[in-house]
């Protein structure tokens, strides 16, 4: 029964987007490594969803397959909805721009498991001609905690979860203030999950709000901002959650270009940040030069971090997957330990 209940938020979301759950062709591209939640769901969940979906309309794919092979499978399957990590959406969008996947024409793209920055969203939506929206699933929750509507609001499934936000002392923060998410599960017959803090995500919560989309729910303001352990802590004491440290889009919008097909911000040391750019070779000589774009990106990050941080912008051929996990690379990475960051704040 619990496994059946876990599909309810997804069905609800599908109907909210005016898609028929029984007819919608749905592809999930996830991490099917041994013991990963995606594989568990593949084996134990799909067999129980027959009353709700035609299994011929559901396809789970391994994110570790070559991206062109994934695109070929999508071409054959012709999905209405594609759910995967932001980086995989961006790789598929790159291939779409190069003429691959002519018959891949989804009505909706969904993403989760990593930060979706504004540039990746615009890059993907421009390539596929449809919206790319966030969902907020987790292994601990067992289903989607929240989802993003067409108006950009993150709605909480409040009949399934009660969520709170706390500070470093585990004290509740005020509505709209940034805090660490705390989750209580209100459904299922498995192990109770009560005020669970292990997800470590930054959120800003608001009580019930009426959205122009028609829903009235608790809201995650601006979406999930990333994991605590990935925080960028600077010498001047400023702390940036990963989702608040993505400043690439304004630069590329100013130059009107999609020539950066992928990027990553890496904090090597407290006072040393490197920004990696992967350039689309077909667009390299179109519009503003790569050097000019790199210069502008450096200036933006220098203003945000202050003069005591060394900013380096570097072009690379590729940004590899996360070692030993199979997950696509995150947009923001910090090699500064949490303890080191807190020591900086205490100085």
pLDDT for 330 equals 87
Q: Which residue has the tokens 């028609």?
A: 214
Tokens of 228: 């605590």
pLDDT of the residue at 238 = 82
Mean pLDDT, each 10-residue run in order, the chain (347 residues) = 70 90 90 55 50 74 91 96 94 96 96 91 97 90 90 94 91 92 85 83 90 94 82 84 88 94 94 96 95 96 94 94 74 77 47
Query: If you search the block for the tokens 């090699």, which residue do you land on?
Result: 335
Are 169 and 157 a contacting pair, CB within 8 Å?
A: no
CATH for 2-220?
A: 3.40.50.12780
SS3 letters across the chain: CHHHHCCHHHHHHHHHCCCCCCCCCEEEEECCCCCCHHHHHHHHCHHHCCCCCCHHHEEEEECCCCHHHHHHHHHHHCCCEEEECHHHHHHHHHHHHCCCCCCCCCCEEEECCCCCCHHHHHHHHHHHCCCEEEEEECCCCCCEEEEECCCCCEEECCCCEEEEEECCCCCECCCCCEEEEEEEECCCCCCCCCCECCCCEEEEEEEEEECCCCCEEEEECCCCCCEHHHCEECCCCCEECHHHCCCHHHHHHHHCCCCEEEEEEEEEECCEEEEEEEECHHHCCCCCCHHHHHHHHHHHHHHHHCCCCEEEEEECCCCCCCCCCCCCCCCEEECCCHHHHHHHHHC
CA angle centred on 214, ends 249 and 12, rounded to 5°: 85
- pLDDT for the residue numbered 38: 53
Sequence ranges of the chain with CATH classification 3.40.50.12780: 2-220
Of the candidate CATH numbers 3.40.50.11540, 3.20.20.70, 3.30.300.30, 3.40.50.2300, the domain formed by 228-346 belongs to 3.30.300.30
* Residue pLDDT, tens place only, 34-78: 445 455 445 444 545 555 556 688 899 988 889 999 999 999 999
Evaluate if pTM is beyond 0.75.
yes
Give me the pLDDT at residue 340, please: 56
Distance between CA 173 and CA 202 in Å, rounded? Answer: 12
- Which pLDDT score is estimated for 56? 82
Residues 231, 100 contacting (CB under 8 angstroms): no
Parallel, antiparallel or unpaired: strands 108-111 and 132-137: parallel
Q: What is the 3-state secondary structure (H, E, C) of 29-96?
A: EECCCCCCHHHHHHHHCHHHCCCCCCHHHEEEEECCCCHHHHHHHHHHHCCCEEEECHHHHHHHHHHH
Residue 56 in tokens: 């011929």
- Determine the Cα–Cα distance for residues 302 and 38; give it in Å rounded to an integer: 39
Q: Tell me what pLDDT residue 347 has.
A: 46
What is the per-residue pLDDT for 345? 43
């Amino acid at each position: 029964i619990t496994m059946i209940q876990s599909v309810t938020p997804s069905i609800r979301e599908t109907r909210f987007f005016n898609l028929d759950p029984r007819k919608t062709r749905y592809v999930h591209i996830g991490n099917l490594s041994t013991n990963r939640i995606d594989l568990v769901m593949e084996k134990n969940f799909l067999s129980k969803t027959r009353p709700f979906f035609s299994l011929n309309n559901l396809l789970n794919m391994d994110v570790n397959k070559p991206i062109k092979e994934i695109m070929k499978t999508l071409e054959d399957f012709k999905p209405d909805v594609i759910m995967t990590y932001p980086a995989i959406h961006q790789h598929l969008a790159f291939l779409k721009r190069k003429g691959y996947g002519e018959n891949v024409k989804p009505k909706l793209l969904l993403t989760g498991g990593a930060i979706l920055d504004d540039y990746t969203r615009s890059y993907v939506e421009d390539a596929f001609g449809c919206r790319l929206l966030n969902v907020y699933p987790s292994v601990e929750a067992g289903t989607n905690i929240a989802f993003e509507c067409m108006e950009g609001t993150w709605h909480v499934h409040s009949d399934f979860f009660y969520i709170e936000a706390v500070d470093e002392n585990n004290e509740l923060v005020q509505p709209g203030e940034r805090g660490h998410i705390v989750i209580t599960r209100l459904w299922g017959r498995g192990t109770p999950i009560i005020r669970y803090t292990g997800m470590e995500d930054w959120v800003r919560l608001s009580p019930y709000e009426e959205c122009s989309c028609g829903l009235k729910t608790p809201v995650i303001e601006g979406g999930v901002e990333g994991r605590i352990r990935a925080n960028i802590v600077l010498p001047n004491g400023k702390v940036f959650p990963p989702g608040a440290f993505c400043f690439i889009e304004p630069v590329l919008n100013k130059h009107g270009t999609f020539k950066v097909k992928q990027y990553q911000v890496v904090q090597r040391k407290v006072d040393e940040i490197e920004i990696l750019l992967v350039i689309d070779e077909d667009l390299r000589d179109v519009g503003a030069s790569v050097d000019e774009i790199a210069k502008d990106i450096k200036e933006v990050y220098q203003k945000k971090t202050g003069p005591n941080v060394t900013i380096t912008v570097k072009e690379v051929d590729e940004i590899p997957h996360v070692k030993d996990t199979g997950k696509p690379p995150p947009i923001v990475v910090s090699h500064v330990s949490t303890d080191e960051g807190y020591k900086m704040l205490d100085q």
